[in-house]
Each structure stands twice: as C-alpha cells, then as structure tokens.
C-alpha cells in the first residue's frame, strides 16, 4: 500500500462526501499557502445557489476531495499491479500535489470569469492561470516543502491541468497523471458527488465511485508504455458516470436560471471594468495580456498578485459598492433581488455543428445573429444568445477497457461487441459522451408574448436538424 503520511504527522479532516480525508504534514503546509486558502472564497457552483440554496460549497473542499481520491485510486492501482520498479511513494505524492492545486487558477465566479474574458476577446482560461500560479507563485514552496526539483514542478503543473492524458505523455514517471485529469478521474468523481449533495440533486449525480476505483488497473501496452485502464466488469459504472454528468449539467450547471445569473455577472463585470483594479488590467487587450504572460518580468508577478486578490466575495463587494454610485451598474440591484434575465429558448448543440462553430468563433457573427432574431421577432427588447463554457463529456476512444479474453481495447471497440440490442441503446446514450453545449436565448422582459416571438425567431435562426437536439 502507498504510504505518504505518518499518523503522528498528519491531519484528519471531516468531509461530507468522503467522511474522513487525511493529509500529511507537508501537504498541510501547502494547503496553508495563500493560493490554496483563496479557494475557500471561490464557490464551486457560483450561480447555482440562486436555484439550489444549499450550493454554497467551495473549490477548497473539492480540491481536498480530489487529493483524497487520488490517494485512494493509487492504493487500488498499487495493490493490483505487478509492474516492477515503480517509485510509488514519490509519484503518488506528486499526483496528490497536482490534485490539491488543480483549481488554483480559477477567477472570481469560476467559469463565469472565463466567459467575461471571452467577451473581451481574451483567450485566457483557468488552466493557464493554474499553471502560472504553480510555476511562478508556488514553485519555491513546493520545492522546499517536498524536496522536489524544477522539473518536478513542471510535471505537477502539467498534471494539474490535464495536459498529461494520452498514452506516453510526459515520460515514464507520470503514469499516474490520468488520476488527476482524464476521462475517468478523481476530479469528476468528486465534483459530481459533492455538487449533487449540496444542491440536493443526489438522484442525478449518483455514481458508483467504489466500483470505478476498485476496477482501475495500471497496465502496459505492447510498447511498454504504462497507462490506466478499467476492467470490463465496471463498464456500466462508466456509463453511469457519463449519464450522471449529463444529468448534472442539465439540472444544475446549465440550469437556465443559473446561466441567466452567470450572464448578468458577466455584464456587471464588463460595466465595472474601469472601476475595479483587478478587472481594469484586462482592458489592456488580448495582445498585451498574452505578451505579459509569455515574458518573465516583475509585471507578471504583479499581475498574478492582483489576480489572487480577486475572489467571489471581494468581487461582489466591489460590484455592490460601485452600484451605489454608478447608474449603469443597477444590474447589481437586480441580482441582489433575484430579478434575472428571462429565458426564451434553448437547444443542444453538438460540437460538430457548423452553426455552433460560427457562434463560438466570431463574436461579431454572434451579435449579428442576435440582431436577426430581434428583427424577425419584431421586438425592441434585449436578445442575448448565451453560450456557456465548453464542456467535454466522456470520450470513448480515450478509455481503455481490460477484457480477460481480448486484452486491452478502447471503450468504442468494447461497445461494438455488446450485441445489437445493447448497442442500439448505448448508441443513443453515447451521443451524450460527446462534446456538447446547451445554448440559451435570454431577454429582459417577462412578457410571455414577447418571449414567444423571440422563441419562434430563435428556432428559425438557431435550429439545424442535422446537429441540434430539442430539450
């Protein structure tokens, strides 16, 4: 068994999902650093609390849960592995550090902040910010606390954001990276359970974590490359995982009211951008931000320092203070009073849709589409097409199934051998294993007739029978 903590030098934490989480003395020092403690002030599902009042949990406890599950998976892998000459203790410790740090790059309101940046045409996501914070703000502490080297910090940075997922990525010492970021990882196993618990939607987010963990195996392919697979007897636990994830996105993460508040918070930050120092930095433009990030300078250090000062609470406080003296921020009064944008239409786009590619890739064309809907509907009200952050569901081709008779195979190949009747069912379910987005259209009025007109116009301009689904 992997032992990375001593009972006399560890902390036992109570957790509503995993009951007990144990962290060693060194991990406790890392947890007590500013970037990790900041996660206490970032909600895991920021706008979901407008729909589900209990959804006030944070990315701090989620990160602890992911670290816990990485350790649990590692124990299962080691107990079932016959591969010699592995440095389990050292490799598992690096994976646990990556798990603790995998969310440190989130901005205020988490994914909503990324949508705010996209409205400014700035391509900067929480994964890139996570890597910058690990490599520029935490590298010294990681090396001192754990006795690691610069190359180890680079490995941790890559593992934390899921860069090391494919077979052979990252070299022989990073075979445990998929535990942190892959198609079946500790991140998904934790957030589905945790978010379902706090939103009260456990019937949607219920997954058989124990069966998944106990059936994961460390294997080698015919080239000697180590990877993580799962025994075929747990295949339906995988099916449960991607169905649960689909249901949670439908019921919680993409809930129309939650998305409405996400959009309003984006609008509020855009209106307040000149008045909040942390936001004003992003008025410098995409090229300046890109140059700042790519260059080693004191300015980058200041940028990261300012970024780490922003969280959900500080941002809400700044926005509310500005709203008292700035008429254009009266939207904050609507947010406080739960007067949200009203829903008119929604549809599922799979990511092979040419229309979705157009809306995602060109803000001008998206604005033109909004104007066409408004014109067709013959209304003067606001029309907004809301395209949330991209979500990647399970990719069957990246999941290795282990079968006693046939050995290793992708989940795609495994499903093809299930027989016609089962395959007919799973072929429909597998559509939800692909990349998709739920696109909403919102307006600023509760008038049902206006909303009906906008819905009819939206169907005309957003519906594509080849690639869309009604919901």
326-383 tens-digit pLDDT: 999 999 999 999 999 999 999 888 777 888 888 877 778 889 999 999 999 999 999 9
Structure tokens at 381: 């009200």
Q: Which of 291, 236, 200, 253 is nearest to 392 (CA)?
A: 253
Contact (Cβ atoms closer than 8 angstroms) between residue 379 and residue 454: yes
Whole-prediction pTM: 0.91
pLDDT at 432 over 60: no
CA-closest candidate to residue 209, choices 228, 185, 232: 185
Strands (E), 268-393: 342-350, 383-386
Going by pLDDT thresholds of 50, 70 and 90, the confidence category of residue 386 is very high
Average pLDDT, stretch 293-309? 88
Q: Give, as one character, the DSSP assignment of residue 463.
A: -
| pLDDT value of position 454 | 97
Nearest Cα residue to 242 out of 124, 368, 399: 399
Query: d(Cα 316, Cα 310) in Å, to the nearest integer?
Result: 10
Rounded Cα gap, residues 36 and 33, in angstroms: 6
| Half-sphere exposure (Cβ direction) of 202: Cα atoms closer than 13 Å | 7
Q: Which residue has the tokens 């000149």?
A: 274
Q: Which two tokens stand for residue 323?
A: 């709203």
Residue 412 has a pLDDT of 66
Residue 206 Cα distances to 41, 55, 420, angstroms: 26, 16, 28
In contact, 425 and 311? CB cutoff 8 Å: no
Q: What is the pLDDT of residue 89?
A: 92
pLDDT (0 to 100) of residue 391: 62
Report the candidate in 145, 169, 39 with the shortest Cα–Cα distance to residue 94: 145
Give the three-class secondary structure for 22.
strand
What CATH architecture applies to the domain 341-395+434-471?
A: 2-Layer Sandwich (3.30)
Q: Where are the domains of the chain?
A: 1-340, 341-395+434-471
Contacts of 444 (CB under 8 A, 6+ apart): 341, 342, 381, 382
Q: Could you tell me the pLDDT band of residue 183, with boundaries at 50, 70 and 90?
A: confident
Q: Answer whether 230's CB lies under 8 Å from 216's CB.
A: yes
Percent of the chain predicted with pLDDT > 90? 61
- CATH architecture of the domain 1-340 equals Orthogonal Bundle (1.10)
């Amino acid at each position: 068994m992997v032992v990375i903590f001593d009972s006399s030098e560890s902390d036992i934490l109570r957790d509503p999902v995993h009951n007990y989480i144990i962290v060693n003395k060194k991990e406790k020092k890392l947890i007590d650093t500013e970037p990790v403690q900041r996660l206490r002030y970032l909600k895991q599902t920021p706008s979901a609390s407008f729909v589900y009042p209990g959804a006030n949990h944070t990315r701090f406890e989620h990160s602890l849960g992911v670290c816990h599950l990485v350790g649990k998976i590692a124990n299962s892998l080691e107990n079932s592995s016959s591969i010699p000459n592995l440095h389990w203790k050292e490799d598992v410790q690096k994976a646990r550090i990556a798990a603790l740090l995998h969310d440190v790059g989130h901005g205020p309101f988490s994914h909503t902040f990324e949508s705010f940046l996209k409205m400014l045409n700035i391509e900067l996501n929480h994964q890139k910010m996570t890597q910058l914070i690990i490599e520029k703000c935490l590298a010294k502490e990681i090396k001192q606390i754990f006795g690691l080297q610069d190359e180890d910090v680079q490995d941790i940075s890559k593992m934390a954001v899921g860069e090391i997922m494919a077979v052979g990525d990252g070299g022989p010492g990073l075979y445990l990276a998929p535990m942190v970021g892959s198609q079946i990882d500790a991140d998904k196993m934790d957030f589905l359970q945790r978010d379902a618990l706090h939103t009260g939607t456990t019937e949607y987010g219920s997954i058989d974590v124990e069966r998944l963990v106990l059936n994961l195996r460390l294997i080698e392919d015919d080239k000697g490359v180590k990877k993580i697979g799962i025994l075929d007897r747990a295949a339906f636990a995988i099916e449960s995982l991607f169905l649960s994830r689909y249901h949670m996105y439908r019921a919680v993460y993409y809930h129309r009211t939650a998305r409405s508040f996400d959009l309003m918070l984006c609008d509020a930050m855009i209106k307040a951008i000149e008045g909040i120092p942390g936001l004003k930095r992003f008025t410098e433009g995409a090229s300046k931000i890109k140059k700042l990030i790519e260059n080693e300078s004191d300015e980058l250090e200041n940028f990261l320092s300012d970024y780490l000062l922003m969280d959900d609470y500080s941002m809400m406080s700044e926005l509310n203070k500005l709203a008292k003296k700035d008429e254009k921020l009266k939207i904050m009064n609507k947010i406080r009073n739960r007067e949200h944008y009203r829903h008119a239409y929604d549809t599922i786009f799979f990511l092979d849709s040419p229309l979705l590619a157009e809306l995602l890739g060109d803000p001008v064309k998206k604005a033109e589409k909004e104007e066409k809907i408004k014109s067709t509907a013959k209304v003067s009200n606001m029309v907004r097409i809301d395209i949330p952050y991209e979500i990647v569901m399970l990719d069957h081709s990246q999941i290795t199934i282990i079968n006693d008779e046939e050995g290793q195979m992708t989940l795609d190949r495994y499903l093809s051998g299930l027989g016609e009747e089962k395959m007919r069912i799973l072929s429909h379910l597998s559509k939800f294993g692909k990349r998709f987005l739920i696109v909403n259209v919102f307006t600023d009025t509760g008038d049902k007739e206006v909303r009906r007109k906008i819905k009819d116009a939206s169907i005309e301009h957003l519906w594509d029978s080849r690639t869309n689904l009604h919901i």
